[in-house]
């Protein structure tokens, strides 16, 4: 897409330069020129782009799959993220500002807001979804490799907007259950570092 | 009646016309209604706001130049970026092109003024006063701080308890009055006031662009005005339109805002594209290639741009198919834009382009705008948008589109029409240096910003950590920003120098072929001593002596009659003259009316609602008083207009400008009402917390009685026109009284219904129901006013069988009120039945 | 001045795109309506009730545009020899209606493939 865009930009610039170099010799048929450059060319390239866009969009949606993906709840509020990890036995582990996910498998994140609109975004995992009061939005993310990923609030939410960060820790799938159990054992699930504005 | 005395010389004719069309000096200048004066004022005011917006941008760039900067705290930063967006969009871009249109349109079309000179003046004062409210708030530190998009609930009372959000809602709505009035004026002038013979196929392309832009404003601004009213009512009286806890939905605000906000981008772009289609062929010395293609492209863009708004909302959790509709439409707009770009390229290639100052800006436009358009197509790809949304990538994209698609063409326009404004030519060297500073500075600022965004920097953060790879990008962006500012400063110096030292411009310095160059520069206050007869798309090229012939009174209306300000009205399509339009002279009434309107808005801001009511009443009284003494007390029949033709004055013509203005105002009004109905249905279908605990439980009696009153009013209003023709004044007056009676009955029923609605603060259902009823009630109340006004005008001799304009305008209102009122009653009566079942 | 030159022709120029607007609005509304009533899980033959409703709305508007296009073709044939501005007006109406037809076809395409309520 990026290469295509640069190509089109260069093409238009070249045509512009040509206009100054060989003045007085316009296109033989204005109709064919406008039809070709203004209509046919964009129609063909846009059709391909739209098909590609829709297919990619479909692939990223949270379609029902087996086995069921891990579900994590995220509640945005001014100005922190509260995360609920389900242990599977009916109990949940709450953390502030840290998401624990298994690497290599899709995770469905239910995003809600307690006050104003926030934007849930982990840049390196791709995709973002707004936390809108009164609505529950689900986004499916996959971290390919274990590690730590930085997350931010993307939608302007007031004075603390810049500091409303979070950390995603992707654990090897084999360790994930143990991590959650250990977190649950520590009843006061450690609030992670909060970045001061 | 005085007879027409043929003037002896061009100088004598000039003196006579000048006496009729001049604007007084001193304090009297505030009474100006002339379009040349108002256009200049709009442009200067808009440029002042541009400078203010620019200073705010520099503060933003200063803050972001380094990580962990302590220059601004978040509270100030939030006010500054909110005001930067607000000022640039509402107080610079829109008024700037309005100013250009107001100055240029009559000259381009071959008329002596716009259709509604006093409305233009009123719009100007509303713009200046509304903008001042925002500036005062900025100066005292209570400026809006929830972003120029004002998303709820951040902008609702719970999270913005101060006056900040009210300043935005009330100040901007005040300014919107000027946008709507300018739109009506632009549309009616283009359709009805062109030079004789200028049929639609011979109209300059800029007029086509402005026609479509004007129509878009009439349909695009009402959703925002409605949204602002609803949000202000929520903030002031706790009606929960946007509160998810009580059946409202914050997403409704986003829909209403972007339903305006996306077309807004094209409302800004189209006039600029019109400027390009005007200037580029002149500098290329070749007529534009593909006139009809461009006309169809503009119309297509005008419509398609309304199908894009949800692409600002791809991340709010809307079904993928809905996103796909908007994604497809967003890509589609690339086609009509592409047609225009290729038409411009073809014109350049066919001609012999000259590298004059405006051409530099046109070339800058090509690069910047095409790049911005391409990133726009990228953002229309839903999955890409999910990643890039709300990052600095979008900031870069929108500046490429808006600066490339508006500021660069406007700079070209400034240099191109400067000789027309001042009678002096641009100074090449300084202007080109300014261009290069602006062009290089702009790209340095925003090209890199794409990368900053892709590296994950979100928008609207006042600070960032040093270890994220954003430092040097932001620093370079800031440096670029300051280079660009130097360029604009040089532009100001350049203009000032030209005013003082510029070489006097020869007549028609660019060898252009449009009518605005067929007059002396700077232009006389009546534009044309005689109106031209147009036979092609390039009237000035056809007849190099046209300016001299017109100055000597050769053409239409080349004389002064009865001291009237006369210009010609034509058939919309063919351009055949069908009326003489009599225009009003200088008056302070627009200023007083705008001040009264200002009292209304400032009182709302101060929560002094009694005073607000007084202000509103005063505004209505003053606005009605504009018509005092307007009109004719006797029938004139066709009057000679020159070249052996005779047409009646507009009061006796079938489609006068004010009648069309009423039609177009009702289009805007209807859009506002449709948005309200859309909001009501949207909340029912999508918002959480439905169905409400209490519904309006009524029998059919009250709605039927109200509907009967509305229909009675409409039928009696029509009947008054028939009677006027048949039986004279008494019977017609009786029918007007019946009209008022119908409205009174409807109003009584509507007031009773409002009282029966459950507490509007309890649930959004009750709030929207009450709002719909209040809307209908307000129209019935104004219907009484219209009927009474028609009656009064009949009694005072302004109405006859021929001169029945006042009654016909009233009839439009009664008809509209009947239709809208019936829809309101059906909705209010029917919706609870559907929800309940 | 003969041929189609009444102000009515201005409406004819925009009529196609008004139909496009109607299609666009109704498709979006029908989708929201269907999703809030759970139509995506009611199957009618090979497609869901939701998709069927959308296809019907889409097809209806395409048919209306087809008729309009036919009228434009005829009007243009009758007016092409009548000189300006009749020729320009009827050509513009024809071109703009064709664009609107293409736009309606294009914006509706995703109906056939994309998930409805997700």
Per-residue pLDDT tens over the stretch B502-558: 888 888 899 999 999 999 888 999 999 999 999 899 998 888 889 988 988 889 998
Per the document, the length of chain B is 837
Q: Give dist(CA B308, CA B377) in Å, integer.
A: 12
Percentage of chain B exceeding pLDDT 70: 98
Residue with structure tokens 């009546």?
B526
Q: Give dist(CA A153, CA A155) in Å, integer.
A: 6
Residue with structure tokens 């790809």?
B381
Going by the DSSP 8-state scheme, the letter that residue A159 receives in this structure is: T
How is residue B770 written in tokens?
Answer: 């009450």
In this prediction, residues B649-673 reach a mean pLDDT of 93
Question: Minimal Cα distance from B450: which residue of A?
Answer: A2
Residue B38 reports pLDDT greater than 80 = yes
- CA neighbours closer than 13 Å in the CB half-sphere of residue B177: 24
ipTM of the complex: 0.94
How far CA A120 is from CA of A150, B334, B555, B613, B734, in Å, comes to 11, 30, 67, 45, 66
For residues B202 and C89, is the Cβ–Cβ distance under 8 A? no
Q: Give dist(CA B398, CA B378) in Å, integer.
A: 12
pTM to 2 decimals?
0.94
CA angle centred on B125, ends B515 and B146, rounded to 5°: 110
How is residue B619 written in tokens?
Answer: 């505004």
Give Cα B496 to chain centroid, integer Å.
29
Domain final residue pick, B472, B505, B538: B505
Residue B375 lies in a domain: yes
CATH code at B716? 1.20.120.80
CB contact under 8 A, A63 and C109: no
Q: Which residues contact B156 (CB under 8 A, 6 or more apart)?
A: B165, B231, B234, B235, B242, B243
CB atoms inside a 10 Å sphere around CB B610 = 8
Interface test with C, best of A49, A53, A54 (most C CBs within 10 A): A54
Please provide residue A112's backbone torsions phi and psi, each rounded to the nearest 5 degrees: -135, 170
- Note the pLDDT tens digit of each residue in B122-156: 999 999 999 999 999 999 999 999 999 999 999 99
- By DSSP bridging, strand A166-171 and strand A147-153 are antiparallel
Query: What is the band of A16 on the pLDDT scale with cuts at 50, 70, 90?
Result: confident
Going by the DSSP 8-state scheme, the letter that residue A162 receives in this structure is: G
The number of distinct structural domains making up chain B is 2
How far CA B472 is from CA of B26, B58, B81, B389, B742, in Å, comes to 54, 17, 21, 22, 71
In this prediction, residues B277-296 reach a mean pLDDT of 93
Question: Minimal Cα distance from C115: which residue of A?
Answer: A58
Supply the DSSP string of B542-573, one letter for each residue.
H-TTHHHHHHTT-SBT-S--TT-EEEEEE-TT
Q: Give dist(CA B34, CA B236) in Å, integer.
A: 39
Nearest to B254 by CA among B207, B195, B192, B314: B314
- Note the pLDDT tens digit of each residue in B477-492: 999 999 999 999 999 9
Judged by average pLDDT, the poorest of B520-534, B574-588, C80-94 is C80-94
Instruction: Return the axis-axis angle of helices B250-284 and B392-402, rounded to nearest 10°.
Output: 40
CB contact under 8 A, C110 and A57: no
For residues A60 and B383, is the Cβ–Cβ distance under 8 A? yes
Q: How far is A139 from chain C (nearest CA, A)?
A: 11
Going by the DSSP 8-state scheme, the letter that residue B798 receives in this structure is: -
CB of B835 within 8 Å of a chain C CB? The answer is no
- Note the pLDDT tens digit of each residue in B273-282: 999 999 999 9
The sign of the CA dihedral B650, B652, B658, B663 is negative
- Note the pLDDT tens digit of each residue in A131-163: 999 999 999 999 999 999 999 999 999 999 999
Reduced to 3 states, what is the DSSP secondary structure of residue B47? helix
Q: Give dist(CA A18, CA B592) in Å, integer.
A: 57
Supply the DSSP string of B671-688, one letter for each residue.
HHHHHHHHHHHHHHHHSS
- Note the pLDDT tens digit of each residue in B176-217: 999 999 999 999 999 999 999 999 999 999 999 999 999 999
Residue B631 reports pLDDT greater than 80 = no
CB contact under 8 A, A9 and B461: no
CB atoms inside a 10 Å sphere around CB A93 = 20
For residues C116 and B321, is the Cβ–Cβ distance under 8 A? yes
For residues B374 and B335, is the Cβ–Cβ distance under 8 A? no
Q: Give dist(CA B431, CA B217) in Å, integer.
A: 33
Parent domain of B493: 356-505
CB atoms inside a 10 Å sphere around CB A147 = 12
The domain limits of chain C are 9-110
How is residue B766 written in tokens?
Answer: 């009750």
Q: Give dist(CA A111, CA A116) in Å, integer.
A: 13
How is residue B602 written in tokens?
Answer: 């400032």
Contacting chains of B (3 CB pairs or more, <8 Å) are: A, C
In this prediction, residues A107-123 reach a mean pLDDT of 94
Please provide residue C115's backbone torsions phi and psi, each rounded to the nearest 5 degrees: -60, 140
Q: Which residues contact B246 (CB under 8 A, 6 or more apart)?
A: B240, B689, B762, B763, B764
For residues A94 and A180, is the Cβ–Cβ distance under 8 A? no
Q: Give dist(CA B602, CA B132) in Å, integer.
A: 11
Query: What is the band of B1 on the pLDDT scale with cuts at 50, 70, 90?
Result: very low
Chain C residues within 8 A of B575 when measuring between CB atoms: 85
Residue A196 reports pLDDT greater than 50 = no
Residue C14 reports pLDDT greater than 60 = yes
Nearest to A127 by CA among B333, B320, B466: B320
Domain final residue pick, B480, B505, B530: B505
- Note the pLDDT tens digit of each residue in B708-741: 999 999 999 888 877 655 555 677 788 889 999 9
Residue B258 lies in a domain: no
Select from C110, C113, C118 the Cβ nearest to the Cβ of A61. Answer: C118
Question: Minimal Cα distance from C10: which residue of B?
Answer: B573
Residue with structure tokens 């949270």?
A62
Chain A residues within 8 A of C118 when measuring between CB atoms: 61-63
How far CA B696 is from CA of B552, B680, B759, B832, B833, in Å, comes to 70, 14, 10, 7, 9
Going by the DSSP 8-state scheme, the letter that residue B531 receives in this structure is: B
Mean pLDDT across chain B: 91
In this prediction, residues B463-468 reach a mean pLDDT of 89
Question: Minimal Cα distance from A62: which residue of C?
Answer: C118
Q: Give dist(CA B106, CA A164) in Å, integer.
A: 54
Going by the DSSP 8-state scheme, the letter that residue B91 receives in this structure is: I
Give Cα C104 to chain centroid, integer Å.
5
Secondary structure element (H or E) that encloses residue B101, with its range: helix B94-109
Domain final residue pick, B467, B487, B505: B505
Residue B220 forms beta bridges with which residues? none
What pLDDT is recorded for position B384?
A: 87
What pLDDT is recorded for position B359?
A: 94
Nearest to B95 by CA among B68, B66, B65, B126: B126
- By DSSP bridging, strand A118-121 and strand A147-153 are antiparallel
Instruction: Give B 708-727 residues with CB within 8 A of chain C.
Output: none
Reduced to 3 states, what is the DSSP secondary structure of residue B310? helix
Chain A residues within 8 A of C113 when measuring between CB atoms: 54, 58
- By DSSP bridging, strand A166-171 and strand A98-102 are parallel
Select from B292, B336, B682 the Cβ nearest to the Cβ of C88. Answer: B292
CA angle centred on B826, ends B824 and B831, rounded to 5°: 100
Chain A residues within 8 A of B342 when measuring between CB atoms: 33-34, 37-38
- Note the pLDDT tens digit of each residue in B387-428: 899 999 999 999 999 999 999 999 999 999 999 998 888 777
For residues B106 and B193, is the Cβ–Cβ distance under 8 A? yes
Residue B837 reports pLDDT greater than 80 = no
Question: Minimal Cα distance from B688: which residue of C?
Answer: C36
Q: Give dist(CA B812, CA B669) in Å, integer.
A: 12
Secondary structure element (H or E) that encloses residue B220, with its range: helix B205-237
CB of B71 within 8 Å of a chain A CB? The answer is no
Query: What is the band of C3 on the pLDDT scale with cuts at 50, 70, 90?
Result: low
Residue B713 lies in a domain: yes
Chain A residues within 8 A of C109 when measuring between CB atoms: 50
């Amino acid at each position: 897409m990026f290469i295509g865009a640069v190509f089109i930009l260069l093409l238009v610039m070249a045509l512009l330069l040509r206009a100054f170099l060989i003045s007085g010799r316009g296109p033989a048929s204005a109709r064919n020129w406008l039809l070709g450059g203004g209509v046919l060319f964009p129609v063909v390239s846009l059709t391909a782009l739209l098909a590609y866009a829709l297919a990619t969009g479909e692939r990223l949606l949270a379609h029902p799959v087996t086995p069921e993906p891990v579900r994590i709840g995220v509640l945005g509020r001014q100005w922190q993220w509260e995360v609920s990890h389900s242990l599977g036995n009916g109990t949940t582990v709450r953390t502030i500002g840290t998401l624990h996910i298994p690497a290599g498998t899709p995770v469905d994140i239910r995003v809600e807001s307690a006050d104003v609109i926030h934007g849930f975004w982990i840049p390196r995992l791709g995709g973002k979804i707004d936390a809108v009061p009164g609505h529950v939005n689900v986004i499916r993310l996959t971290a390919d490799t274990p590690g730590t990923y930085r997350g931010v609030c993307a939608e302007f939410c007031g004075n603390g907007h810049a500091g409303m960060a979070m950390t995603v820790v992707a654990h090897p799938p084999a360790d994930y259950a143990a991590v959650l159990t250990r977190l649950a054992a520590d009843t006061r699930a450690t609030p992670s570092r909060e970045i001061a504005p | 009646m005085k007879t027409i005395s043929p003037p002896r010389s061009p100088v004598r004719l000039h003196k006579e016309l000048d006496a009729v069309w001049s604007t007084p000096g001193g304090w009297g200048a505030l009474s100006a209604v002339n379009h040349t004066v108002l256009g200049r004022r709009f442009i200067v005011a808009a440029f002042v706001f541009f400078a203010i917006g620019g200073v705010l941008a520099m503060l933003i760039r200063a803050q972001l130049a380094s990580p962990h900067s302590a220059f601004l705290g978040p509270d100030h930063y939030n006010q500054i970026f909110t005001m930067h967006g607000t000022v640039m969009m509402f107080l610079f871009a829109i008024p700037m092109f309005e100013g250009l249109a107001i100055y240029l349109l009559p000259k381009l079309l071959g008329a002596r003024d716009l259709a509604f000179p006093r409305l233009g003046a009123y719009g100007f004062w509303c713009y200046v006063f509304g903008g001042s409210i925002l500036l005062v708030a900025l100066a005292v530190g209570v400026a809006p701080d929830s972003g120029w998009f004002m998303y709820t609930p951040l902008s609702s009372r719970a999270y913005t308890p101060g006056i900040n959000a009210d300043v935005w809602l009330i100040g901007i709505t005040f300014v919107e009055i000027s946008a709507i009035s300018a739109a009506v004026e632009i549309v009616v002038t283009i359709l009805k006031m062109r030079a004789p013979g200028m049929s639609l196929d011979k109209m300059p392309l800029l007029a086509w662009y402005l026609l479509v832009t004007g129509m878009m404003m009439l349909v695009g601004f009402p959703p925002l005005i409605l949204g602002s009213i609803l949000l202000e009512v929520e903030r002031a009286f706790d009606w929960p339109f946007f509160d998810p806890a009580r059946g409202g939905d914050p997403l409704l605000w986003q829909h209403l805002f972007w339903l305006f906000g996306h077309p807004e981008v094209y409302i800004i772009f189209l006039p600029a594209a019109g400027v390009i289609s005007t200037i580029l062929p002149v500098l290329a010395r070749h007529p534009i290639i593909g006139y009809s293609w461009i006309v169809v492209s503009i119309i297509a863009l005008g419509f398609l741009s309304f199908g894009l708004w949800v692409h600002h909302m791809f991340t709010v959790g809307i079904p993928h198919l809905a996103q796909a509709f908007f994604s497809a439409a967003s890509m589609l707009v690339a086609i009509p834009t592409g047609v225009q770009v290729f038409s411009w390229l073809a014109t350049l290639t066919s001609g012999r382009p000259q590298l004059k100052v405006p051409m530099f800006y046109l070339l800058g436009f090509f690069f910047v705008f095409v790049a911005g358009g391409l990133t726009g197509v990228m953002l229309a790809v839903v999955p890409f948008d999910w990643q890039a949304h709300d990052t600095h990538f979008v900031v870069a994209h929108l500046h490429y589109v808006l600066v490339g698609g508006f500021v660069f063409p406007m700079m070209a326009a400034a240099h191109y029409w400067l000789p027309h404004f001042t009678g002096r030519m641009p100074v090449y060297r300084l202007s080109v240096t300014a261009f290069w500073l602006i062009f290089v500075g702009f790209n340095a600022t925003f090209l890199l910003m794409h990368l900053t965004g892709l590296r994950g920097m979100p928008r609207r953060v006042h600070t960032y950590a040093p270890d994220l790879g954003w430092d040097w990008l932001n620093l370079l962006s800031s440096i670029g920003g300051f280079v660009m500012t130097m360029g604009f400063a040089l532009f100001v110096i350049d203009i000032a120098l030209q005013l003082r030292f510029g070489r006097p411009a020869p007549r028609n310095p660019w060898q252009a072929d449009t009518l605005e160059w067929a007059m002396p520069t700077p232009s006389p206050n009546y534009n044309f001593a005689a109106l031209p007869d147009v036979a092609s798309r390039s009237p000035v090229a056809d007849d190099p002596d046209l300016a001299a012939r017109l100055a000597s009174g050769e053409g239409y209306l080349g004389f002064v009659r009865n001291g009237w300000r006369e210009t010609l009205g034509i058939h919309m399509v063919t351009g055949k003259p069908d009326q003489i339009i009599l225009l009003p002279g200088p008056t302070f009434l627009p200023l007083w009316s705008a001040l009264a309107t200002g009292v209304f808005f400032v009182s709302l801001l101060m929560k002094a609602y009694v005073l607000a009511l007084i202000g509103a009443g005063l505004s209505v009284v003053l606005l009605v008083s504009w018509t005092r003494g307007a009109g004719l007390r006797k029938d004139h029949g066709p009057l000679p207009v020159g070249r052996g033709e005779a047409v009646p004055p507009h009061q006796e013509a079938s489609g006068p400008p004010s009648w069309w203005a009423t039609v177009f105002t009702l289009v805007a009004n209807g859009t506002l009402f449709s948005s309200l109905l859309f909001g009501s249905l949207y909340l029912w279908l999508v918002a959480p917390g439905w169905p409400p605990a209490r519904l309006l439980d009524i029998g059919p009696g009250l709605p039927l009685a109200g509907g009967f009153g509305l229909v009675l009013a409409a039928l009696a209003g029509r009947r008054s026109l028939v009677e006027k023709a048949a039986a004279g004044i008494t019977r017609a007056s009786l029918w007007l009284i019946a009209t008022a009676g119908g409205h009174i009955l409807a109003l009584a029923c509507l007031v009773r219904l409002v009282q029966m609605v459950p507490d509007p603060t309890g649930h959004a259902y009750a709030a929207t129901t009450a709002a719909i009823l209040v809307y209908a009630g307000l129209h019935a109340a104004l219907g009484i006013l219209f009927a009474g006004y028609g009656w009064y005008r009949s009694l005072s001799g302004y109405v006859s069988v021929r001169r029945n304009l006042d009654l016909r305008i009233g009839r439009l209102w009664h008809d509209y009120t009947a239709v809208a009122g019936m829809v309101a009653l059906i909705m209010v009566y029917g919706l609870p039945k559907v929800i309940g079942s | 001045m003969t041929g189609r030159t009444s102000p009515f022709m201005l409406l004819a120029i925009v009529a196609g795109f008004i139909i496009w607007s109607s299609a666009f609005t109704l498709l979006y509304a029908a989708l929201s309506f269907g999703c809030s009533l759970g139509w995506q899980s009611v199957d009618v033959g090979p497609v869901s009730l939701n998709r069927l409703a959308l296809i019907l709305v889409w097809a209806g508007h395409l048919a209306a545009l087809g008729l309009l296009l036919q009228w434009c073709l005829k009007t243009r044939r009758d007016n092409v020899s009548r000189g300006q501005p009749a020729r320009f007006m009827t050509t513009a109406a024809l071109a703009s209606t064709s664009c609107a037809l293409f736009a309606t076809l294009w914006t509706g395409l995703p109906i056939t493939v994309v998930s409805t309520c997700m």
